[in-house]
Every structure is written in C-alpha cells, then in structure tokens.
Amino acid sequence: GAVVSQHPSRVICKSGTSVKIECRSLDFQATTMFWYRQFPKKSLMLMATSNEGSKATYEQGVEKDKFLINHASLTLSTLTVTSAHPEDSSFYICSAGQTLHGYTFGSGTRLTVV
Amino acid sequence: ELKVEQNPLFLSMQEGKNYTIYCNYSTTSDRLYWYRQDPGKSLESLFVLLSNGAVKQEGRLMASLDTKARLSTLHITAAVHDLSATYFCAVVTGNQFYFGTGTSLTVIP
C-alpha cells in the first residue's frame, strides 16, 4: 500500500528559529500533498494544499509567509515554519495519495517551540 | 463551506457492547473516509465509502454511507479495549478534505 514518510517525528526549537518538516511519498508519485495542523484533542485543520511544481494553495487564515511550502518533486513536499513562536507548537500532519484509493497520512510531527 | 459534525464527541462504553458513531455533513460529497487516531499518533485509514448505500466491514467495525441523508455511521460490535481511540470521519469534495470533530472512544473492561 501507499506509504507516506514524515520527518522529523518530534522537534523542539527556540523562538525565532525556523523548522523544516519533510513529507515523502515512498512508493508512489504525489502531485498533490496536504498539510494539516492539529491542536490537542481537536480535529485536523487543513493548512494548505501543496502542488508539485507550483505554488501551494493556503486555507483562509493561514499565513503563507510563516508556513512556507515547497513541493519540488513528485515525492517530496516540505513545510517550513519560519520565525517560530510558542503558539506555533502543534502536531503537524501531511497526507498524500490517489483519489479512489484513499489518502495516506504521514506519522506526524510534534513541534514544540520554547 | 462544507461542515462535518460527528456525535457523540466522547463515548465511554463497556466491553462487549455495541454502539454507533454518526457523521453528518452539510453538502454533496464525492466520498467519505473513516480514520482512527491513537494518542500522539497520526491517522490510520479504516474505510473509504464511495457511493450511496456503501457498506464496509473490518473486524468489529462496520461503516455505511447514505448520501441522500448526508450521513455516515461507524458501528462498533462487541467492543474490546483495543478499539479505544479517536475516530474521525472526513468528507471529500474534489481534493478538499473536511474532517469531523472526532469521537473519543474509551472501552472499559
């Protein structure tokens, strides 16, 4: 089945620094990947749709300059949290897949900004 | 914007009992997914339902879809402790996913 790898699984960074999260489709090509954010005991909130070779589409209220998305190849999308603040601490999850076969989620990244 | 509501939000049930989780959505959808999430983990795909009347079963879980009523159900039969987790439905139109609020299930021995 489709496998999506997300790295790192946990990261702690200082306020003001940037953090990059990678999402890779291991055994299939993904022209589209999705980035979600999840607060504790809450549902997933779609942040942006990452499109290979073009700009990401951001959901309303998501700062595109803060959450930089790059989808440079058919198997890799990255989310960079720039100038991180404690309120950016959250669980970030990517997903990729093919419409009729469902979407697979990455293992998630727990970001803690101190 | 498509809205997806799940109920109940929290469910505590005894082992061996049956229960149903409901997922209502507000507008026409292409397909519906059910996912399981364990604490601190990502989502695990359970079912994808593509058409009206679709029913899928895996072990003690059975999911169904009524597109006319805009309703999907996840039925739990003879619950066991291992089913304790949070369950999400997600409705898809085009490529857009809309997640339900989640149902936190605790199965008590």
Strand pairing of B10-14 and B103-108?
parallel
pLDDT digits (tens, 9 = 90+) for B58-87: 999 999 999 999 999 999 999 999 999 999
Which pLDDT score, from 0 to 100, does residue A93 have?
96
Which pLDDT score, from 0 to 100, does residue A22 have?
97
pLDDT digits (tens, 9 = 90+) for B8-20: 999 999 999 999 9
DSSP state of A59: P
Which pLDDT score, from 0 to 100, does residue B67 have?
93
In contact, A62 and A96? CB cutoff 8 Å = no
State the Cα–Cα distance between residues B63 and B47, nearest whole angstrom. Answer: 7
- Average pLDDT taken over every residue of chain A: 91
What residues of B are in contact with residue A95 (Cβ under 8 Å)? 43, 97
State the Cα–Cα distance between residues B103 and B10, nearest whole angstrom. Answer: 5
What residues of A are in contact with residue B103 (Cβ under 8 Å)? none
Query: Would you tell me which residues 25-54 of chain A have a C-beta closer than 8 angstroms to some C-beta of chain B?
Result: 32, 34, 41-46, 49
In contact, B95 and B46? CB cutoff 8 Å = no
Question: Is B41 an 8 Å CB contact of chain A?
Answer: yes
B43, B88, B91, B98, best to mutate vs chain A, most A CBs in 10 Å: B43
Which pLDDT score, from 0 to 100, does residue A98 have?
64
Tell me: pLDDT of A102 over 90. no
State the Cα–Cα distance between residues A24 and A75, nearest whole angstrom. Answer: 5
- Regarding predicted confidence, which is higher, B27 or B104? B104
Of B66, B63, B59, the C-alpha closest to B24 is B66
- Average pLDDT taken over every residue of chain B: 93
